[in-house]
Chain A
Amino acid sequence: MNQKNAMSNIRSAWGGFTDRLHHAWAVAPWWQRWAVYILLIVAALLLPSDSLAPIMSPYSDWASVLFFPIGTFVVLAIGLNVVVGQAGLLDLGYVAFYAVGGYAMGLLGTRLGWNFWEILVVGILICALSGVVLGAPTLRLRGDYLAIVTLGFGEIIRITARNTDAIGGPNGIRGIPHPPSIEGVELFGIQIFKYGVLDPRPYYYMLVALAVVVIILVKRWEKSRVGRAWAAIREDEDAAEVMGVPTFRFKMLAFAIGASIGGAMGVVWAAKVISLNPNDFLFLLSATILAAVVMGGAGNLPGVMLGAFIVAWLPERFRGLQEYRMLIFGAVLVALMIFRPEGLLPSRQRKAELKEGSGGMGSLGAEVAGPEAKPEVVEGASK
């Protein structure tokens, strides 16, 4: 019992801390916020420093790890967060869009010889389109059903890629071109626009730029009419519809935006890795990204990014444990859902929804308050 009290004390202390932080942030003047943004971007750019490498990644090249999986996961998680965290659509096949982006880069780059930047634009359009194409038939479904159908679509895309020899079949695509380099632009001894094979840092900088653009866009959407419509759909789709929100259209938009972000990441990733094959797009990747979103706190951008960082970084950091990392990962997911289902840094709104037991997705059936179920201590009330 004591232990339980201690647990809830820690929990409410943490909750109080994040609440105060949230408040301070909300009332801070614009220049303070911008200073923090710029500091964060500079910190992100300085991350691949050699002095951090031995602590952060003793087993593999830190700058490479920062590009994949860490940076890649962060961007994918931001994209998936639009779908899962904001619109409340459970997508288990998100990797499909990443795959479409990767294949767009691979095919257009090797077959048609297009330039990376052209492919990036076209790839994003293709992915948005594929989001609409996949969304149109499936988005009439809800909750678990949507989850399973998206899982099915993810697998259909992967198996189709494997079975279609015209796009490389099981061997995938090789010799994907790098983005065109601009030689001579040097900063602290790094050629920041030289996209070669050896130095992963230019790709990482490009990824940071992509992430910044994506974050700005996503934040703007969240604060706009669109974001409010998503929140309404997430909380109660029927009520939203009755209130005049064209739910289907907004769900499609969420799907298309999520798909574009996943696709953009796919293009950037494929431009670095030279070769790809269908096994780069397994269901496990979708599950991992979803885990990152939920673990960080679905709906809350900093939380989601933190979740993605942890999910990507921990297995790399503990490569010493080698194969056991996935075992531990699975156990951590279960434990996290038991002890902190709202995620590490939950959004306040989502937390409130989860407390009601709706979570935007309905709660489990047969959860009848038995004699053993006690009302939970209201967080933050102890202060």
Chain B
Amino acid sequence: MFNDFFAQFWPQTIDGLAFGSIYALIALGYTMVYGVLRLINFAHSEVFMIGTFGAMYVPFALGINSPLTGVALVGLVVAMIAAGALASAGTAAALERIAYRPLRKRGASRLAALISAIGASIFLQELFALLIIPTVFDRPERGRIQMGLPRIMERTELFSIFGHKVMAHQVFVVVSALLMMILLERLVNRTKIGRGIRATAQNPEAAVLMGVDINKIVQMTFLIGGAMAGVAGALYLLAYENTNYYIGFLFGIKAFTAAVLGGIGNLRGALVGGIALGLVENYGAIIFGSDWKHVISFTVLVLVLMFRPTGLLGESLQQARA
């Protein structure tokens, strides 16, 4: 068992980092919405799913099905990320508008919001399985079957670590995710909108009295969180080259676990939690076998909530001082 562990340690670490950064990007959406609304945006998983399909649409529409190089590759990757982010941000904003805002206006309970989110989640999954995948992606009768992305990024070895190859696409995922995180950190800490988000998270009443337009801030929070999930979707698609209408469920729960692990409401916590979960999951998979990978994540979730519900970093968005 331990020989296996050491033999697979580095490849699994690298893979865990790549998966972890995708979890982290999705976790940002959970964390931001939770920080502002005290709401677990249960339908965020579908926002991620739609991001993968948004990114898929670009090569599909352009009819690209062979690896690209140079400027063409960079252009396509940027376009895919942008398309994913756009599709997801739009979905998240629509969700807020249709499924949450009316409830918020009535002062409904969080249980009602959760049910609304579950309903929206089922609706979006079925919408893709029944209508969008068969028509937009021209796959009649195959809406529920996994859809592959033709290889766009050549699988090249970038460098090796203790004799184990590190592939370019893995580095690309981690670096892009980190870049997005830095961007978001700056957005939240340095801009007017970011200040509004922090103010609302700290104390909504006081924020309103200070002239913060709370509806706009909530909308922006959903937009930004959605865009992050869309980027995550595009990165996942580029690196792992498949998606389906149901993909959001597992990623959603794991990203939520990551958010809780890092401390929900805490932006850096999402990063730490995501990476930690990606690694723990993969190390666990070496020991117990990859069938148990998901069980390991859920167990981590349960253990964290039991013993340290404030997460690893604890400090939350509303406590972060301006």
Contact = CB atoms under 8 A, between A and B. Distances in A.
Interface string B285-312: 0000001101100110110011001000
A14 interface: no
A373 interface: yes
Interface stretch (A51-59, A175-183, A223-231, A362-370): A362-370
Contact of A338 (B37, B40, B102, B127): B102
B256 A364 contact: no
A249 interface: no
B114 A363 contact: no
A368 B208 contact: yes
Interface in B54-105: 98-100, 102-105
B17 interface: no
A148 B102 CA distance: 24
Interface stretch (A22-30, A255-263, A351-359): A351-359
Nearest to B113: A364
Interface stretch (A109-117, A154-162, A206-214, A240-248): A154-162
Contacts of A37: none
A137 interface: yes
A69 B30 CA distance: 34
A160 B306 contact: no
A330 interface: yes
B122 interface: yes
A148 B249 contact: no
A291 B109 contact: no
Interface residues of A, number: 60
A interface, over-half SS: helix
B39 interface: yes
A159 B299 CA distance: 12
A104 B125 CA distance: 33
Interface string A325-353: 01101111110111001000000000001
Interface in B246-260: 249, 253, 256-257, 260
B110 A143 contact: yes
B109 A363 contact: yes
B296 to A, nearest CB: 10
Nearest to A283: B249
Contacts of B111: 84, 90, 294, 298, 359-361
Contacts of A334: 98-99, 116, 119-120, 123
A149 B302 contact: yes
7 contacts: A287-B122, A330-B121, A337-B119, A354-B112, A357-B109, A362-B109, A367-B105
